[in-house]
């Protein structure tokens, strides 16, 4: 007797070449059978007629910790139809301290950010300091180290040392491009690619370096794609939202304070002042993010102006539509000569920032004709599963883990998720609690001592080959 039978869903499972109406049987948290019309008894049967049934969505870059996220990150990610995510900054200590309370049933992998200023008092950490950080964070359960060049730029040499140490020791390593000598834009990408050489590297959110700061967005995207093609050792993702996140804080005299906000205002021909911000909000160019106590939502137009003014124009986070449609489309759909995608996966760089739009905008690309449904599943699940060496996820092979996302295709919205065969989210209601931490043999004892179930992977295993589907 199966635990659950999902009947008549439109199943898209590119690893097994499936794209059609199938039943899926789940037992003991795993895929028990997939077939055109399964004959068998199940404790529960669900009719999925008219719905897409795909391997659980995996967000390849998001944030749960307070530095770049909020306590709502897990919840918002789970509500968006995701079953597994890669947190790209930690801090590992904070996520493990809060996860039992804030978790929403997701499988969570964590990279810990190297911010050596607070730990070692330098932006040029020595080889010993880099080793100390990498050893410590992986012992606590992180998969490896994240360089956050856009926020805490290190010297190019320190970045090189970090990538070398992680490659030597078999830890994961990711980089938000940017150093003390190149900014977090296409110049930072050129430098990152050169420094990485033929070493393993996850280059984060490619789209954010293609916003037209040096060239125009299309030329920057073209260059980024050429660099990735020439360096297949680099794994990358890009997010699909047009929005960034920035502070709308002003000085007493009415000057916009945040560098990013100033840049956004001038991009839209507005003064870098409180008046400029007010106009941007009123014209619905910029929006305000507001914590509801449950999630973070976007306020627009006069609602945004009221919220921003009520909070004394301080401490308000907002967003501008700075990711050009043209570069996002190029990065999402471009392919290498062998037919595999140049940018490996979709991500959100979200979590608590309300841009968890892998399904909404990913299916938008399908409807637009830029990618196929199978390619959507590849970039939204399978590719990142393989990158994380989660070989029993991202597909519906018999025996694979039953992480499943059920989607209303017309509304481009997740209606249900299963994590290990259990309902995690259904019709906007969260059932999942806590977290399962994706870690290594090295991190397992500590993570389990903190009370978490674990999934053990080996980031030192060779990067799996890219898959071509159509
Ligand atoms: Zn990020």
**Average per-residue pLDDT for the chain:** 95
Q: What is the pTM of this model?
A: 0.95
Tell me how far the alpha carbon of residue 266 lies from the centroid of ligand 1, in angstroms. 24
C-alpha of 334 from chain center = 19
For 162-213, the pLDDT digits (tens) are 999 999 999 999 999 999 999 999 999 999 999 999 999 999 999 999 998 8
Instruction: From 181, 211, 452, select the one nearest 331 (Cα to Cα).
Output: 211
Tell me how far the alpha carbon of residue 69 lies from the centroid of ligand 1, in angstroms. 9
Return residues with CB closer than 5 A to ligand 1 (ion): 88, 349
Tell me how far the alpha carbon of residue 415 lies from the centroid of ligand 1, in angstroms. 26
Confidence of residue 111 (pLDDT cuts 50, 70, 90): very high
On the 0-12 / 13-18 / 19+ scale of CB atoms within 10 A, 190 is middle
Tell me how far the alpha carbon of residue 300 lies from the centroid of ligand 1, in angstroms. 24
Give me the count of residues in the chain.
470
| 66 pLDDT above the threshold of 80 | no
Tell me how far the alpha carbon of residue 349 lies from the centroid of ligand 1, in angstroms. 5
Which residues sit opposite 435 in a β-bridge?
106
The residue ranking higher by pLDDT, 314 or 270, is 270
**DSSP states of 5-70:** EEEEEEEEEGGGTEEEEEEEEEETTEEEEEESS----EEEEEE-TT-EEEEPEEEEEEE-STTT--
* pLDDT above 70: percentage of residues in the chain: 99
Which CATH number fits the domain 57-242+323-387, given the four candidates 2.20.28.120, 3.20.20.140, 3.40.50.410, 3.30.70.20?
Answer: 3.20.20.140
- Pairing outcome for strands 350-351 and 52-55: unpaired
Tell me how far the alpha carbon of residue 1 lies from the centroid of ligand 1, in angstroms. 44
Q: Domain locations in the chain?
A: 2-55+402-440, 57-242+323-387, 257-319
Tell me how far the alpha carbon of residue 108 lies from the centroid of ligand 1, in angstroms. 15
Tell me how far the alpha carbon of residue 16 lies from the centroid of ligand 1, in angstroms. 32
For 10-47, the pLDDT digits (tens) are 999 999 999 999 999 999 999 999 999 998 899 999 99
CA distances in angstroms from 390 to 111, 139, 190, listed in the order given: 16, 20, 30
Tell me how far the alpha carbon of residue 235 lies from the centroid of ligand 1, in angstroms. 15
The answer to whether 246 touches 258, Cβ cutoff 8 Å, is yes
Alpha carbon distance 236, 113 (integer Å)? 17
The whole-number pLDDT of residue 313 equals 66
Q: Which CATH architecture has domain 2-55+402-440?
A: Roll (2.30)
């Amino acid at each position: 007797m199966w635990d659950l039978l999902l009947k008549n869903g439109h199943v898209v499972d590119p690893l097994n070449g499936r794209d059609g109406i199938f039943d899926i049987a789940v037992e003991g948290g795993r895929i028990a059978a997939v077939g055109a019309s399964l004959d068998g008894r199940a404790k529960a049967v669900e009719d999925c007629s008219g719905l897409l049934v795909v391997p659980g969505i995996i967000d390849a870059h998001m944030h749960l910790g307070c530095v770049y996220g909020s306590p709502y990150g897990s919840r918002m990610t789970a509500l968006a139809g995701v079953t597994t995510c890669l947190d790209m900054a930690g801090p590992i200590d904070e996520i493990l301290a809060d996860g039992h309370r804030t978790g929403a049933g997701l499988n969570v992998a964590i990279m810990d950010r190297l911010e050596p200023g607070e730990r070692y008092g330098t932006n040029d950490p020595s080889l010993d300091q880099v080793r100390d950080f990498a050893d410590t964070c992986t012992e606590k359960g992180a998969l490896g180290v994240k360089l956050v060049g856009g926020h805490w730029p290190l010297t190019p040499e320190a970045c090189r040392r970090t990538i070398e140490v992680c490659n030597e020791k078999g830890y994961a390593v990711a980089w938000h491009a940017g150093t003390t000598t190149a900014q977090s834009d296409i110049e930072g990408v050129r430098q990152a690619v050169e420094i990485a050489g033929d070493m393993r590297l996850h280059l984060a959110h490619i789209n954010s370096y293609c916003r037209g700061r040096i060239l125009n967005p299309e030329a920057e995207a073209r260059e980024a794609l050429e660099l990735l093609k020439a360096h297949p050792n680099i794994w990358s993702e890009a997010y699909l939202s047009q929005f960034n996140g920035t502070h709308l804080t002003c000085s007493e005299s009415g000057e916009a304070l945040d560098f990013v906000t100033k840049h956004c205002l001038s991009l839209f021909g507005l003064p870098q002042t409180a008046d400029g911000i007010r106009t941007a909000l009123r014209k619905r160019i910029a929006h305000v993010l507001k914590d509801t106590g449950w999630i973070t939502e976007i306020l627009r137009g006069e609602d945004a102006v009221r919220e921003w003014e009520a909070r004394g124009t301080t401490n308000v986070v907002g967003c501008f539509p700075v990711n050009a449609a043209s570069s996002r489309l190029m990065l999402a759909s471009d392919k290498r000569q062998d037919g595999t995608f140049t940018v490996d996966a979709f991500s959100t760089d979200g979590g608590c920032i309300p841009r968890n739009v892998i399904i909404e905008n990913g299916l938008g690309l399908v409807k637009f004709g830029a990618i196929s449904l199978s390619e959507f599943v590849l970039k939204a699940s399978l590719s990142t599963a393989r990158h994380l060496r989660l070989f029993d996820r991202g597909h519906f092979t018999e025996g694979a883990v039953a992480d499943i996302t059920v989607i209303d295709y017309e509304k481009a919205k997740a209606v249900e998720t299963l994590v290990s065969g259990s309902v995690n989210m259904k019709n906007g209601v969260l059932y999942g609690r806590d977290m399962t931490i994706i870690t290594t043999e090295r991190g397992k004892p500590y993570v389990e001592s903190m009370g978490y179930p674990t999934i053990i992977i080996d980031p030192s295993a060779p990067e799996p080959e890219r898959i071509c589907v159509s």
